[in-house]
Chain A
């Protein structure tokens, strides 16, 4: 009955049904569900952190017909981040949407997305991963179009179609694996996987499909318009969480399933695409005219860093170096989740109070919205990778290991990307500070500002300083 794995997926699903049936109560019911789900997710994380990896077969049905859920360190770390960010987004959304009609449309889809997100992090078999991936894509596309503008509808239709192409490709890979090995359970397939044309085709199809969803350069074309045109809380969820889910799945496949058959050449290819993403995404962020578009291109760049870890992980033999590299990768993903969510929520506040988000005309934003500007600054610290943010630690490990392996070119890309990130963050901050009378109060709209501020603070200060406990969590359950 009190199984945190099942509850983490079932609670938001139940909430989604309730807010659909009782739209008048959607805000209260939605917040209640958000709180309960977060508590369950943190309980789950603490349990795994204590050294127990969790596993449960829903309804007592085992493999192969049953639906199994499991949580190891990697899953628990991402669940904790995703649920904290989702809670902050929920609080922000109560202020952002108010009691408007769009609030009633927001909650069912948002809770459905939350359920799919937890399900994806916790699923233990390849087909459930596919179902969760589709649920996530459908609810994300519908949420992204909530503003109702033509641009949003166009961008999200493209996002939906690209996502479907990606998941169909993934599904064909799953079908190939089932043909060859007769099971869908991640651990069972991993145990019986042998190098050969079937495994290689499945790897190419599954990872290729997911790269579309993870928006890895040059497959990122759908991301900036979709993320920049959504309502701010939705943009935050899309950039911080939904993209991460696809990356998590790539990582899961790369490290757990195809560990024996991934070649250094394949890792190198993904790393090079990642490097392209860092340079191109950061450059386009620097040139962006709108705050939310800047944040979206910055996501393209940050996704690139995560993929630059793959060639190094493949080239590093098992041992403390590899574990440190993996910890750094997860730290980067967590930090980016907090930072980008905070950034988007603050950008939403700027857009709401000034009526636009054109960077050129931000003058005086720091004076009229101190908390939002401070949030942008703090999130900027994490995006650039200044100490003590988790990004700093992650980039440090990335550069160190690249040089240790003799692959020094990754270090150059990291430095160029960091410089570009500093440039685009300071470009916003420079515009935000203008000579105008200093305001009396720090907070203008606490309910929308405080969640954003906390997320940014967590990204700039919290995750980096918590590197040690996170490393313990990742080591747990192995």
Chain B
């Protein structure tokens, strides 16, 4: 039984680490704000994966509550941070469109962001 728990934890935890690394790579290599934000959230999801894997103690035992509390708090923090970053992004976009009102039709940049 404990063998099975260990394998489950390794699979989940390893996937979490992989998520984290993918997120870091994507954050560094992509310029647009929304891609960076998604990358950050994937990094966060990776960390939460690791924590949930730690909490697992088998199907018939209750999970460790502490990592669950951490994940919940972490999600709240990640949502607030994403919201603030999006607010910044909207502010910048609005100023961009106010600054160049005559330029229409070229708003869709090649990276897919919409001004």
Which residues from chain A sit less than 8 Å from chain B, CB to CB? 64-65, 127, 130-131, 134, 137-138, 141-142, 145, 150, 153-154, 156-157, 160-161, 164-165, 168-169, 171-172, 174-176, 178-179, 184
Contact A153 B47 (CB under 8 A): no
Contact A64 B88 (CB under 8 A): no
| Cα distance, A73 to B85, chains bound together (Å) | 37
Which residues of the partner chain A approach B92 to less than 8 Å between Cβ atoms?
150, 153-154, 157
Known: A141-B84, A145-B88. A131 touches B73 (CB 8 A): yes
Greatest chain A CB density within 10 A among B36, B46, B88 is at: B88
| Cα distance, A178 to B52, chains bound together (Å) | 11
Which residues of the partner chain A approach B107 to less than 8 Å between Cβ atoms?
none
| Cα distance, A184 to B27, chains bound together (Å) | 28
Contact A178 B88 (CB under 8 A): no
Number of interface residues of B (CB under 8 A): 32
| Cα distance, A145 to B33, chains bound together (Å) | 17
Greatest chain A CB density within 10 A among B20, B23, B80 is at: B20
Chain A interface SS verdict (over half): helix
Docked complex: B69-88 residues within 8 A CB-CB of A: 69-70, 73-74, 77, 80-81, 84-85, 88
| Cα distance, A178 to B27, chains bound together (Å) | 26
Which residues of the partner chain B approach A134 to less than 8 Å between Cβ atoms?
77, 81
6 A–B pairs (Cβ distance < 8 Å), ordered by A: A138-B80, A141-B84, A169-B24, A172-B43, A172-B50, A178-B67
Docked complex: B8-49 residues within 8 A CB-CB of A: 13, 20, 23-24, 27, 33, 36, 40, 43-44, 46-47
Contact B51 A175 (CB under 8 A): yes
Contact A179 B84 (CB under 8 A): no
Q: Closest approach, in angstroms, between the C-beta of A454 and any C-beta of chain B?
A: 34
| Cα distance, A145 to B69, chains bound together (Å) | 32
Known: A65-B66, A150-B95. A172 touches B77 (CB 8 A): no
Closest to A168 in B: B43
| Cα distance, A160 to B88, chains bound together (Å) | 10
Contact B54 A168 (CB under 8 A): no
Contact B54 A161 (CB under 8 A): no
Which residues of the partner chain A approach B20 to less than 8 Å between Cβ atoms?
168, 172
Contact B46 A172 (CB under 8 A): yes
Contact A160 B47 (CB under 8 A): no
Contact A178 B40 (CB under 8 A): no
Which residues of the partner chain B approach A131 to less than 8 Å between Cβ atoms?
73, 77
Known: A160-B88, A164-B81. A179 touches B13 (CB 8 A): yes
Which residues of the partner chain A approach B70 to less than 8 Å between Cβ atoms?
127, 174-175, 178
